[in-house]
Structure 1
């Protein structure tokens, strides 16, 4: 299946090109030319399918001729080898736990799937090394680092904002060595993302390097995130639920974009809730009709501190065929840090469950939507995007004491960190990259 650019619907490139270039030259984002609705037989047997079976069927529907079916199945089985359980908090409220992968964040799904696809194609062709550039506001970098660690023929450079990631997040970026390099940028996530975008547009760098991205602008990151929406629905069907609202913590809007992609594939969804922190560009747009990006604001939910979300254009493009779908399918909410702290306390006191600050915002959005629609026979699923241990400074002492430390996080303690400090200036970033080539 070919892919096109959101800035040029006439463009047609094979999946392999979309995977490795990450972003078209026209600065749009790639999407499949055709998004098939999965057949009725698939949805009828959904409750009986395993997570791996669901993932393969969706991947094959979107990538029917990109690689041999047996290779695609192998990649899916290897990449999606950890659970994504739906856990009941109340009769109508469920949490989709997406933090059981190696970096303890939902981005493991996309990073592992993409790294194995790239590894497959690189093995087929040989050639010069691939340089993966990734900006992170928190969890992307750790997932990419672990997803690509030791992959032959790939070098990864991660840019993160100084002082704006948690200690565990920073350790996940800086303690790997091998083919993983970390740059600590004196700026915001938006600054890091701007540096990456400038690198892709720079003719000299593209002469010296074979550049690609592992951010959610890469279509290979988006596709596997659709898997867990359908898997969550399968789990709900087994419990007798058919009507669902998904509440999605939203920063760069890749996660919600994947949900809309699943909806286009046929997943029945009553509503998506776009839940943000103070960086409320999209909720403000949904209220006013005016899309006005703005500088990002630092919050407790740091992985969502994005003032100009790249993936919003994908969502509007996915809904282009039905002009009424955007307002009918997506409702936006935004919350302050005080709202977040209060919700963390409430969920802990009422359920004994600890939510990370990003997940908390999604829970709060579902509660607000439910108050407006008290009679609707639906259940709400809010996405738990990261393990709470990654944000130790957010929680009061009594709650922090109840947070288990997973083995993957405990293993980071004491490991030496390797990072390079850079200003938020493209000239400095470009010079650093060229020096790495010469070294």
Structure 2
């Protein structure tokens, strides 16, 4: 598998190198040179396999022979060793696909755990690796737990101070050991800027083997393709004809993965990209003008991103496949509507949702046609947004035993202004 840099198409690397580098020159994203296509008959037989076996096959098609199939298979088995996605039917033509049954109760467990397995395998010389990543909420916990106590791998996670939920923070700011967490007094976009500056800094590059575990890393993105096939396999035959998937979008990794699944031959009829008030992409879809505003803090904080990293990959897929981008559904959802539809889901269907899923549901409900079957993605467990959900629904949520222990642990974060020199000192252990 060869991948090229979207900012410099002459830079071509292997999958292994793309995983190790994270980003190419000029901070360019890596993208596969060939998009594997599965014939219709093979799609049918593939959908009959169980989640693990099917995922092993899908990832082997992308990665190719540079990593032995046995190693890919064992990595998938280890990474996806938790409850698979669940499809919850709410009414005749609308369901929620819950992707949050992993160890940190978020869909990001799939990509982070697969990346950890692959990177650990590729680090055969046991060199010291520093993983630097920014989180707007769920990535931090997923990455921290995936790499926790891994030999010769140090993880540094930046997050916007006061702008992630208490549970999100407790899950990754209390681990210690090889996990370093830094609260940045600013927005997620400022955290991302600091990460990008670090990757451009010659001294940091020289003294550390720097990598990123955001969805910009191709291994995370490839892993997410797998659950779109699972969504399709869980859907009844009669509903498979016109499946519409509504995705709560922040950095647009989930949409990219879904589009890659479609490019392989999975017959998804349509995607809806759903954002909160940070609506750079919906405005771009409407006007053709890319004009990011200052990031706004919302209750769907994992989507509080004004400059989504993966958008160039979305554009690349549409260009490569010669698809019409105007066929994407899109829209943004206000705070009031997000809360209103958390209530709506509970009162109408006795379903407890968190803000991100509510954003996706809101647009799906608005845009779906009678002949279509709609699925909105549940990307995080409602308990991760306990305060918001309880206040909105006036109920008490039970905290799962798997995460209740973290509440009594001390938080170990540094706290700094969005100052690159201070961050650099931490990265270089000065």
After TM superposition, the score normalised by the length of structure 2 is 0.97
1:78 aligned partner: 78
Q: Quick one: distance in 1 between partners of 2:240 and 2:305?
A: 34
Whether the 8 Å CA contact 1:38–1:61 is kept in 2: the answer is no
Q: Quick one: distance in 1 between partners of 2:90 and 2:215?
A: 30
2:88 aligned partner: 87
1:52 aligned partner: 52
1:216–1:398 CA distance, 2 compared to 1 (3 A): closer
Q: Quick one: distance in 2 between partners of 1:240 and 1:379?
A: 6
- Cα offset for 1:429? 0.8
1:34 aligned partner: 34
Partner of 2:351: helix, strand, or coil?
coil
- Cα offset for 1:393? 2.1
- After TM superposition, the structure 1 = structure 2 runs for residues 40-439 of structure 1, keeping only pairs within 5 Å, are 40-82=40-82, 83-122=84-123, 124-126=124-126, 128-237=127-236, 241-328=240-327, 330-370=328-368, 373=369, 375=370, 377-397=371-391, 399=393, 401=395, 403-434=397-428, 436=429, 438=430
- After superposition, the CA RMSD in angstroms is 1.4
Q: Deviations over 1:397-435 (max 9, x none)?
A: 58353533212221212111111011101111112222x
Q: Deviations over 1:348-402 (max 9, x none)?
A: 00011111100100001100112xx3x3x22111000000101122124583535
Q: Quick one: distance in 1 between partners of 2:389 and 2:214?
A: 28
Q: Quick one: distance in 2 between partners of 1:145 and 1:324?
A: 37
Q: Quick one: distance in 1 between partners of 2:4 and 2:314?
A: 14
Whether the 8 Å CA contact 2:248–2:275 is kept in 1: the answer is yes
Whether the 8 Å CA contact 1:283–1:331 is kept in 2: the answer is no
Q: Quick one: distance in 1 between partners of 2:364 and 2:331?
A: 9
Whether the 8 Å CA contact 2:280–2:290 is kept in 1: the answer is yes
Whether the 8 Å CA contact 1:183–1:419 is kept in 2: the answer is yes
After superposing the two structures, state which structure 1 stretch, 317-326 or 268-277, moved more. Answer: 317-326
Q: Quick one: distance in 2 between partners of 1:102 and 1:276?
A: 26
**Number of matched pairs:** 429
Partner of 1:272: helix, strand, or coil?
strand
Q: Deviations over 1:308-364 (max 9, x none)?
A: 101000000111134542112x12110110110101011100011111100100001
After TM superposition, the score normalised by the length of structure 1 is 0.95
Whether the 8 Å CA contact 2:7–2:25 is kept in 1: the answer is no
Can you give the 5+ residue segments of structure 1 that lack an aligned partner in the other structure?
none
Partner of 2:65: helix, strand, or coil?
coil
Can you give the 5+ residue segments of structure 2 that lack an aligned partner in the other structure?
none
Partner of 1:295: helix, strand, or coil?
coil
